[in-house]
Structure 1
Amino acid sequence: MAKNPAQEESPNTDAELLRTQRPERPSSDFIWEQDTFRRIGYGGVNMTKALSKFDLAQKESFKQAALDFSAKGDYAQTGFVSLMCAISKSLKHFPVSAFDTSWVAQTLKVPLFVLNIGTIKRFFVFWKARNPQAISDEALQLLIKIKSRAVYSNNVLSDDPEKSWLSDEEYEALLASVWRNYEDGLFSTSRTLITLLSMQYARRPIQIAHLKFQDVRNAASDDSSGLSGPVVSFPGGKDMGAETGFRDSKFEHHPLPGHLWNLFEIQRNEIQAMVEFQLDIHLSDSELQKLPVFASAGRIERAKYELTSQYRVDWRSNLDHHLFHMRPLRISQILAWTPNSHRDIEPPLSHRTGRPLVVSATRLRHTRARQLARKGVLLHVLSHWLGHTNEKSLRAYYNDPAEDARKLDEAMAPTLMPLAMAFAGKLIDSEEQASRSNDPISRLEFAKNGELKNVGNCGKHSFCATTSVPIPCYRCRHFEPLVSAPHKEVLEALKIRQEEENQALRIGGARDLLVPIDLSADILAVKNCIDRCNARKRELGIV
């Protein structure tokens, strides 16, 4: 018996017609797992005890309101976690079966609740509009009348050597320690790059965490940043009135010096290798551009699992998702030198305390702001660049009671500059005297007018040499400069570069400010090297 054509297998069956239906996915990056409010991929707040006295209807209404409120996107995602933490803590201290005036009065004794009062007010207004039984009218009115208490940090104004900005000596010691640990293989490329980005650009941990490889590029003359050459574009981190989602704020464009560009290249290769190994794939160039600059094997695996199980999407089509990125908290821990392995070492000693430096993202940010202020960067320019909406918050960088003493120090700097910032290598009369004279890789050359000129040799099979990272050689103890090398040409090139950097700072568009790179320590080291070479030439009778 012949088959009815209508009974033939059709491509328009119900199942096939639903093939392109939008996949089910959470309304936001938050879900409830029983009574735990969880931010997918980041952990959560266990509210089992806090909600234990509520009936089922009230509990379910609260949980749904929390999801709907977080889906609005009015706050950064960490703000919603703080909101739930504050409510949970208040309910643990003062368990109630309904949100009434007595509960509001008692919760004022909980500091975390008062700190988050602004968000809490908006949440209860939002919830009550959807469920009149959420909170009593009297309790809501009392809650609304509570004034927010602004929290200000006095660390910038503090003279505490472990809270305020780093001194110039401490900053230089920290910088030297970071490069030395990288050279010796004790710091990964990731850890080194994170620290140097914070020290150079004063960006917040969340901005560093949100970087993608597409943000690091060799910009053409028509680039949207208005810059040309190597550029890094940091996602904004704290714009007033900006969207609060992942990488929603305005981007901040900055020129990228050669040593950081090279580190980014090395980091790109390492991240590509790790992701391809973890996910068993070969990445295309376009896929690599979507990946985070900073990630870990654990984050990669977790992101794949969460995208598949929670978001129900194809993970490979979502390589630009925030779950692949290292957490901002981890960035903060790295900047604070928080130990995470037996190989970790302490930061250098502070000359002010005699103890290891206390390092944090905030201190590094304050330090860089102070350095720029001391260079004469105008207040409104620095405020704009750092993302502050109120210039008053930056006046401390300019109105320093020790300004007169600082000016005196600057005037005497040529004679009192610490030896640690000077040339530290050993002179050689000829290349045959170099420690690695038979190794052509050890030769260090200076390019000028398309010509390479030998300035000396590297005296160690160092980690920096094998990765082509240009650690400032004139300040390195392994540098062996030739007495007859054109060190004056190096000095002139450094001076020209420094002048270009000093002239570069400007306002351009949406917080597109250039960051002057400070080459003063390198300039001093080259001058010191030239002086010693001249002294050696006199000994040898060379005019």
Structure 2
Amino acid sequence: MGFNPQLDHWMYRDVSEVISLRFSNLCLSRELEASAKAVLVWYAERMASGHLKLMFQQLLRFALHVGKSRGGPVAEFSDTDLINYRVSLDVRNLWHFGQLSTLLRRWHEFGYAGVSGQAYVLLKQIRNPGVKKGRAVLTHDPHEGPFTDIELEALQRALDRAYQRGDVSREGYVLTYLFMLLGQRPVQHAALKVKDVTVVEQKSGVPIYLLRMPRAKQQGQLVRSAFRDRLVIPQIGKLLVEHAACVRRMFEGVLEDPSEAPLFPATSRPHVEPAGFQFHRTRNGITALLQSTLEPLQAKSERTGEYLRISSIRFRRTFATRAAMEGHGELVIAELLDHSDTQNVGVYIEARPEIVERIDKAIAFRLAPMAQAFSGVLIENESHATRHADPTSRICDPRFDPSMRPIGSCGSYGFCGFLAPIACYTCVNFEPWVDGPHQAVLEHLVDERDRLSKDADARIAAVNDRTILAVAEVVRRCEAWQKERDRGG
């Protein structure tokens, strides 16, 4: 593992993170500290590093509480210590005692000194609540829970535009989309190597892009000892292959086998990595890349009006929630999330009915200013358009005005493959006219959503929700402009 377990300070670089545990902080007697180290070595060898750190923190909280009551170093943990500590915890934090109980029972069963027989009997008798899981998902917490479809689309649009402008690196772009598409943990991305990216050509000649995703460290397994192939959509798969090839070239002459290079290399190496993981990022490094890619884009939530909080767990929760919305059961969701069982995935099934809310005109007008789905420029008439001298820039649709009164103008000189005018409202190049039939467009979209919600899947009905908010914002601005003009007149 790259450290001496006899030392007071355990400091080493795991595959996923830097471990730093100082045993003198526990304020234990020498004998009890030696027992604590022996037990935690077992966790270090068999469990994920995050679990080791968690167990150390639980032991630290307990030991400091006992030491404070005794006024000095602790030589043994008694049943009285356990009772007093449990009483000191409020209801929300009782799960700390449950995790401590697991550690101390294992400690006693291994035969190490320090946990009294009475304490062990008590621990076996007490039933402890586990960590309360799923609150953020069940309540659709706007800061920690899954993104709504509108929020996710806002992130994707902002990311795509930034990448096209050159404001986002290919590395950050690819990593972010992998989080969105696959819902895996940062530690799994940290363990990825260039050789994990593969392309399989079908008989038809159409390529399939696969990513061999390492499983997160399971009990008794080593990192990169087990994998699951994940399918990547062609748009991202092509960029993933290009990125992998670029990284491979970077490590020619640096590593004996450049295919062993990390898919997302670290930019600095303050700690010595374990063998076989030279230049790999930690999971915190992966999270930092994700956040540094998305946070500057300042995408907003239609629920709060604030910038979206970016974290890897939110993408994971979004991925699982969307899988539940598509009708997948617990076994499939557990497989997709790389869980060994289904005990933690039921929450996504429970949360499923609440995801897609009804959006009518009143709600659209309320959410529109916060969502910032409209990113074009409102203009008074064609004379203010970017391509005012080009009649082909006019956007018309007889569905919304039989006289073909223009809805607005397109400010782009390039070819656009999206369907006008619906797709125009969320486009940065759209220049809607103040007197355009935007109210008719809004009513059409809301009516269509209502019809689809009755006759089709709720997810299909919600496909234009962000566009509805963009149109509502245009209508709102047009009304404000008209009032201002009337006031001035």
Which TM-score band applies after superposition, normalised by the shorter structure?
Answer: 0.5 to 0.7
Is the aligned partner of 1:293 residue 2:258? no
Distance 1:458 1:289, change over 3 A: farther
In structure 1, C-alpha distance between the alignment counterparts of 2:33 and 2:182, rounded to whole Å? 46
Residues 1:192 and 1:265: Cα distance change in structure 2 (over 3 Å): same
Alpha-carbon distance, 1:272 to partner: 4.0
Superposed displacement of residue 238, structure 1 = 7.5
User: What is the 5 A alignment of 1:48-87?
Assistant: 48-51=24-27, 53-55=28-30, 57-71=31-45, 73=46, 75-87=47-59
Distance 1:146 1:426 in 2: 73
Give the letter aligned to residue 187 of structure 1: V
Task: Confirm or deny that 1:345 pairs with 2:296.
Answer: yes
Deviations 1:23-54 (CA, angstroms, capped at 9, x unpaired): xxxxx455447312334351312221314x41
Please show how residues 515-534 of structure 1 align to structure 2 within 5 Å. none
Equivalent of 1:209, from 190, 194, 211?
Answer: 190
Give the superposition deviation at 1:120.
Answer: 0.7
1:332 is matched with 287
User: In the alignment, what sits opposite 1:164?
Assistant: 145
Match of 2:164 in 1: 183
Distance (whole Å) between structure 2 residues aligned to residue 290 and residue 46 of structure 1: 33
CA distance in structure 2 between the partners assigned to 1:376 and 1:421 by the alignment:
32
Change (3 A) 1:421 1:205: farther
Q: Which segments of 5 or more consecutive residues in structure 1 lack a partner in the other structure?
A: 1-27, 308-317, 434-455, 460-471, 480-519, 525-543
Whether contact under 8 Å (1:94, 1:103) holds in the other structure is yes
Q: After alignment, is 170-179 or 153-162 more displaced?
A: 153-162
2:13 counterpart residue number:
40
Residue number among 214, 224, 229 corresponding to 1:247 in the alignment: 224
Partners of 1:64 and 1:420 lie apart in 2 by 56
Q: Deviations over 1:181-202 (max 9, x none)?
A: 3333333333222211111122
Cα distance, 1:214 vs structure 2: 1.9
| Structure 1 counterpart of 2:212, from 233, 238, 242 | 233
Given that 2:3 and 2:11 are in contact with CA atoms closer than 8 Å, whether structure 1 keeps it comes out as yes
C-alpha spacing 1:426/1:30, structure 2 compared with 1 (3 Å)? farther
3-state SS, counterpart of residue 350 of structure 1 = coil
Q: Judging changes above 3 Å, is the alpha-carbon distance between structure 1 residues 106 and 332 closer, same or farther for their aligned structure 2 residues?
A: farther
Map of 1:25 onto structure 2: none
What's the CA shift string for 1:407-460, capped at 9, x where partnerless?
x89xx9xxx9x9959999999999xx9xxxxxxxxxxxxxxxxxxxxxx8489x
2:235 aligns with one of 259, 269, 281: 259
Question: Which letter maps to 2:315?
Answer: L
Task: Give the C-alpha shift of residue 115 in structure 1.
Answer: 4.9
Residue segments in structure 2 that go unaligned for 5+ positions in a row: 68-72, 378-384, 394-412, 417-422, 431-462, 468-489
SS in structure 2 of the partner of residue 100 of structure 1:
coil
- 1:89 deviates by 2.6
Residue in 1 that maps onto 2:358: 405
Q: CA deviation at 1:237?
A: 3.1
TM (norm. structure 1) is 0.58
Tell me if structure 2 keeps the 8 A contact 1:194–1:335. yes
1:59 CA displacement: 3.3
2: distance between equivalents of 1:381 and 1:356? 32
Q: Is the 8 A contact 1:127 1:134 kept in 2?
A: no
Alignment partner of 2:130 out of 143, 150, 157: 150
TM-score scaled to structure 2, two decimals? 0.63
Secondary structure of 1:255's counterpart equals strand
Aligned-partner Cα distance in 1 for 2:376–2:329: 33
Secondary structure of 1:351's match?
coil
AA aligned to 2:37 is: K
- RMSD between aligned alpha carbons? 4.5
**Secondary structure of 1:232's match?**
strand
Report if the CA contact (8 A) 2:180-2:315 is conserved: yes
- Within a 5 Å distance, the mapping from 1:413-424 to structure 2 comes to none
The one-letter amino acid of 2:130's match is A
The 1:166/1:92 distance shift into structure 2, 3 A limit, reads: same
Amino acid of the residue matched to residue 162 of structure 1?
H
1:354 is aligned, of 305, 308, 314, to 305
For the Cα contact (< 8 Å) 1:215–1:232, is it kept in 2? yes
Q: Kindly tell me: are residues 205 and 355 of structure 1, through their superposed partners in 2, closer, same or farther at Cα, counting changes over 3 Å?
A: same
SS in 1 for 2:97: helix
User: Any conservation in 1 of the 2:217–2:223 contact (CA below 8 Å)?
Assistant: no
Distance in 1, Cα, partners of 2:314 & 2:271: 32
C-alpha spacing 1:292/1:68, structure 2 compared with 1 (3 Å): same
CA shift, 1:478, in A, is 7.2
Question: Quick one: distance in 2 between partners of 1:63 and 1:163?
Answer: 35
- Provide the C-alpha distance between the structure 2 equivalents of 1:43 and 1:360, rounded to a whole number of angstroms: 21
| Equivalent residue number for residue 419 of structure 2 | none
Pick closer, same or farther for the CA change 1:404–1:266 going to 2, 3 Å.
closer
CA distance in 2, matches of 1:419, 1:427: 24
Aligned to 2:478: none
Are the counterparts in 1 of residues 158 and 297 from structure 2 also a CA contact under 8 Å? no
CA distance in 1, matches of 2:192, 2:56: 28
Q: Which residue of 2 aligns with 1:99?
A: 76
Tell whether the 8 Å contact from 2:108 to 2:115 is kept in structure 1 after alignment.
no
Matches within 5 A, 1:485-496: none
| SS state at 2:144 partner | coil
**1:196-217 residue CA offsets vs partner (Å, 9 max, x unmatched):** 1111122222222222222210
